[in-house]
Amino acid sequence: MYSKRELQLLVISDVHLGTFGCHAKELLHYLKTVNPQTLVLNGDIIDMWNFSKNYFPSSHMDVLRHIMKMASRGTRVYYITGNHDEMLRKYTDLQLGNLEIVDKLLLNLDGKKAWIFHGDVFDSSTKGYAKLLAKLGGKGYDLLILINRFINRVLQLFGREKMSFSKKVKDGVKKAVAFVNDFESTAAEIAIEKKYDYVVCGHIHMPQIKEVTNDNGSVTYLNSGDWVENLTALEYNDGAWNIFNYDKDYLNLIHPIDNFEQEDIVSKILAS
């Protein structure tokens, strides 16, 4: 039994429950080791774009159950809507006990202002015809993640370092790199204009903490990453931010993870 770490604020995003790439068991393990005063679910927690009644394992439901349990025990939970769970936007400002659904959030952290939102508002690929292409691309992304996971298990058997196909693709495509840079710059510039101290996003699956400065001032830009590739979260306590990385920070504490469900997964991806 692990002793729980007390946190003022915990931010997670881009969990994508309901997809094959989601590391729900690892996330649940992590959540059981912390006790945050406030938990912010910063978008794309449930992947409604790629949701299929044929695939929603008990481990994914366990994550939702545990979050509800955290709320019932006193943790204030904000569910910020993202593009993959945009259907929840019709319920914006709905509050059930300690759980509230919002589109964006402004928090006071030790006298400093933190502006928190998912970030899809900056991404034209989540709208119109491009949105349809993005949804179709999600199936191929799921398959890529599945193949990547199998290869990483083989690499681990031979004592080799894990690799990420999708990260290599992103890093090798100049447009993708430019988009990430533009995303971060745009979020930071707006936050500086609004006189915020922190701007916290998700969406691009790139964990980050960095200071951004322009002629009008400076702001700390943060991104919580995801639970598909990076397995990261943002933790705030005693005036300091930290990126939690499951693979690195819990390398010696991980319980054996059950083998990934094998019932003809590839055919399910293609058929769903």
What CATH number should be reported for the domain holding residue 199? 3.60.21.10
DSSP 8-state secondary structure symbol assigned to residue 269 = H
**Cα–Cα distance, 266 to 272 (Å, whole number):** 10
Given pLDDT bands bounded at 50, 70 and 90, which one contains residue 21? Answer: confident
Tokens describing residue 141: 């992304």
Residue 196 domain boundaries? 5-271
Average pLDDT of 242-259?
68
Q: What is the pLDDT of residue 120?
A: 85
- H or E element that contains 36: strand 34-42
Q: What is the pLDDT of residue 96?
A: 93
Residue 219, pLDDT > 50, answer yes
Determine how many CB atoms are found less than 10 A away from the CB of residue 222: 24
Q: pLDDT tens digits for 48-71?
A: 877 666 788 999 999 999 999 999
Could you tell me which residue, 133 or 250, shows the higher pLDDT?
250
Average pLDDT of 81-99?
92
Q: What is the pLDDT of residue 42?
A: 97
Q: Do residues 28 and 240 make contact, with C-beta atoms less than 8 angstroms apart? A: no
Average pLDDT of 122-127?
55
Q: What is the pLDDT of residue 132?
A: 42
Gyration radius of the chain over CA positions: 18
Average pLDDT of 199-210?
94
Q: What is the pLDDT of residue 263?
A: 39
**Cα–Cα distance, 184 to 104 (Å, whole number):** 17
Q: pLDDT tens digits for 131-185?
A: 444 444 455 566 566 667 667 777 777 778 776 655 655 555 445 555 566 888 8
Tokens describing residue 181: 């840079």
- H or E element that contains 182: helix 174-193
Q: How many domains does the chain have?
A: 1
Distances (CA, A) of 267 to 135, 141, 264: 18, 14, 6
Q: Do residues 106 and 115 make contact, with C-beta atoms less than 8 angstroms apart? A: yes
- pTM of the prediction? 0.77
Q: What is the pLDDT of residue 248?
A: 83
Tokens describing residue 113: 């202002």
Among 87, 91, 104, smallest CA distance to 48 is for 87
Residue 117, pLDDT > 60, answer yes
Residue 30, pLDDT > 90, answer yes
- For residue 250, which phi and psi values (nearest 5 degrees)? -120, 25
**Cα–Cα distance, 86 to 109 (Å, whole number):** 27
